[in-house]
Each structure stands twice: as C-alpha cells, then as structure tokens.
A and B are shown apart, each in its own frame.
Chain A
Amino acid sequence: MVGAFIAAGLVALFFLSMKVSNLSTMSGGEGYPVDARFDNIGSLKVRSPVTMAGVRVGRVSDIGFDSETYEAVVTMSIDSRYDTIPDDTFAKILTAGLLGEQYIGLDPGGSEQYLKTGDQIQLTQSALVLEEIIGQFLFSKAEEGSNSE
C-alpha cells in the first residue's frame, strides 16, 4: 500500500512535469548564448520565446542594462540544433496579437558566417510601444494639418 502511495505520488509529479509543463516543449539539449542590444525591450521577460519563421528556436535567458550606452542587453539561449543562423540576422521584438506577450523574432540574413556562442546580433529593432506609436501618429496628423492650411 505504501509502495502504491509513493508510486502514485511520483507518477502524479511526473505527469505534472512531463505533460503539463514546458519540459515537453523544451529541447533536451542545451542552447548556446547569443547577445543582442535593444534601445527598448518593452515588456520582454526572461524565458520569453525566441522564434524564427514562427518556430521557436530558443528563449531569453537574461536581460541586463548597459549603463554606459543606456541600452538593454538581452541574452538568448538558442537551441544547439539550430546552429546555422547567419551572423547578420535581424532581431526584432514583436508582440503576439494586439495585447499579447512580447517575444523576439529573428529574420535570417544572407551571411555565410553563422552565429556562435557569445556572439552579438548587430541588427536589432526595439519593441513598439503603443503610446509612442500613437504619439507619432498624432504628431504627424497635426503636421499634415498645419501644412495644408
């Protein structure tokens, strides 16, 4: 009975880890770290997904701040099976849906050189912050209005 109890408990915990959590979607192997600098990361968080053509290839492993350049330094962990990502890849911070969570999208470049451990992605685009977009839109409308007068 006690054996059955312990077995049932362990099976339950195993079920939780395997079937419920992201252990099943995490690739078994480790990833290699790649850095990228952004002016603004919006609400990107550690563990946010990193995707390429919509397929997840890694996740954000660390977010830091460079107090000299005032930029955010995002470290991504890219699955080691995706080891042929060109080093001129373009990293954008995108939003899933209108209000969804933010993630990093990678657009591959054309370089023959591939990203390696510790490399930095040079081409980045910051998160779009809704207030800024609205602000820009209003500003440009106002400008249009004054021009047409």
Chain B
Amino acid sequence: MLEQLARLGRVGIAILAHIGRGNILLFHILGGITDLATRPGLLIRQLYSVGVLSMLIISVSGTFVGMVLALQGHYTLSQFGAEQSLGVMVAASLVRELGPVVTALLFAGRAGSALTAEIGLMKATEQLSGLEMMAVDPIKRILTPRFLAGFISMPLLAGMFSALGILGGYFVGVGLLGVDDGAFWSQMQAKIDLHEDIYNGVIKSFVFGWVCTWIALFQGYEAVPTSEGVSRATTRTVVHSSLAVLGMDFILTALMFGG
C-alpha cells in the first residue's frame, strides 16, 4: 500500500518535472526570438520545410473534406428542405472546427513528426552538443526558428484548408447537386461572422500551432539519442499533439462559443 503510494508519487513527480522541463525549454525558445531578427534566413528556411512542404497534403485534404461535407450535408439538409443552408453548414463546420483541428492533426503528422525526428537525430549525431561547444546556443539557433515557423504556418495552412474546403463544397453543392449559387454564398455570408467564426478559428489555429510545434521540439530535444529513442519520440509527438489538439479544441470551443 505504502509502496504503491510512493510509486504514484514518483510518477507524479516525473510528470511534473517533464512539464517543468517543457516550460523551461519554451522559455528559452522564446528568449531566442529577438536574436532571430538579425537572421531572417533561418526562419525562411524553416517556413519552407514546415509550411511549404505541408501545403500539398493540407490542400488536398481540405478540398476533399469540403466535398464530403457538402455531400453529407446535402443529404441531411434536403430532408428538411433546407439545401439552401448548405453553404452555411460547410463554411461553419470548416471555419470553426474542421479547418483548425484537422489541419493541426495533419500538421502533427507531417511537420511535427519531421521536426522531432530532425531534432532527435541532431541530438543523436551530436550536432546539438557540437553547436554548444562552438559557443552557439542550439536552442536559439535551431529550435527558435522552427518554433516560430510552426506558429506562423499553422493559421495560414488552416486558412488554406478552410478556403479550399469551401470551394470543394461549392463545387459539389452547386456544381453537382444543383444548390442555388446565390443562396450558397448569401446564406453563408449572412450567418458566418467575421469575429465569432473566422477570428476564433484563426485564434484556435495559432494555439494549435504553438502547442504542436512546442510538443514536437520538446520531444525531439528530450529524445533518447539513439535510433530507437528518436523513433519513439516521433510517435509520442504525434500522439501527444493529437490529444493536446483535441483537448484544447474542446476547451477553446467551450470558451469561445459556449458562453
């Protein structure tokens, strides 16, 4: 009994220490941002590998999600004779929820795991120690630009996802299923609110970008520097990021739309 209590305590302490190290790392990463101003090239390179390389999967997924939404929505709405609201339904689901959340999940799988693997391998091959011994702070030089790139990329990617999803929904709804063109857009414009829906969606994706990139970098930085350790860290990144995104999404949705 006492032993189990002690074990519980040890696990608790380990979790707290883990969270603490994550926060210390985040603090250091943020501390490097001023330094980055003199080296914009570093950020641009990371925007390429984090953002540009994720663009394809995000665009394709967004389009298809929008198309599927239109098909499913049309089926349900037509039972109430409310096909006219298809535009609202597609746009609201995308802008409020699916855009930020699905983008974040795909981002965790595409960019987050790549970040973890990259940082973990740099650790395993002593590149981080090497930088440190060259009197270069690896957190500032390696982690900060990646963090910022993730934070900036996520809302842009989520925006593309939603925009292409709406176009995909338009294509299916208006093009294939014969919903009225004008009604599709005008209902959407009447119901989707710039602040309530779009800004909140963008805020969500900023938060998700922050969390996903943070988790990815932390897992990479803490990875056991062996090939097995790196592959485990990569898996953990995807799992932790996905759970964090879904959990945060619930909290954010409750805060934004619940009240």
The chain A residues found within 8 Å of chain B, CB to CB, are 1-2, 4-6, 8-13, 15-17, 19-26, 47
Contact = CB atoms under 8 A, between A and B. Distances in A.
18 contacts: A2-B44, A2-B47, A2-B51, A5-B156, A8-B160, A9-B51, A9-B155, A9-B156, A9-B160, A12-B156, A13-B198, A16-B162, A20-B95, A20-B192, A22-B190, A23-B194, A25-B189, A26-B194
Contacts of B52: 1-2, 4-5
Given A12-B163, A16-B198, A5 B193 contact: no
* Most central of A6, A9, A11, A17 by chain B CB within 10 Å: A9
A59 B166 CA distance: 26
B81 to A, nearest CB: 12
A113 to B, nearest CB: 32
Contact of B47 (A6, A8, A19, A25): A6
Interface of B is mostly: helix
Contacts, number: 81
Interface string B188-219: 11111110111000100000000000000000
Interface in B203-249: none
A10 B196 CA distance: 19
A21 B199 CA distance: 10
A4 to B, nearest CB: 8
B64 interface: no
Given A9-B157, A20-B166, 7 more contacts: A2-B47, A13-B159, A13-B202, A16-B159, A20-B188, A22-B191, A22-B192
A26 B163 CA distance: 20
A1 B45 CA distance: 10
A43 to B, nearest CB: 16
A121 to B, nearest CB: 24
A115 B52 CA distance: 54
A26 B189 CA distance: 10
Contacts of A21: 189, 192-194, 197-198
B198 A17 contact: yes
A5 B51 contact: yes
A145 B197 CA distance: 53
Q: Which of A6, A12, A13, A23 has the most CB of B within 10 A?
A: A12
Nearest to A15: B163
Contacts of B197: 21
A2 to B, nearest CB: 5
Interface in B151-168: 153, 155-157, 159-160, 162-164, 166
B48 interface: yes
A12 B51 contact: no
Interface in B177-191: 185, 188-191
B55 interface: yes
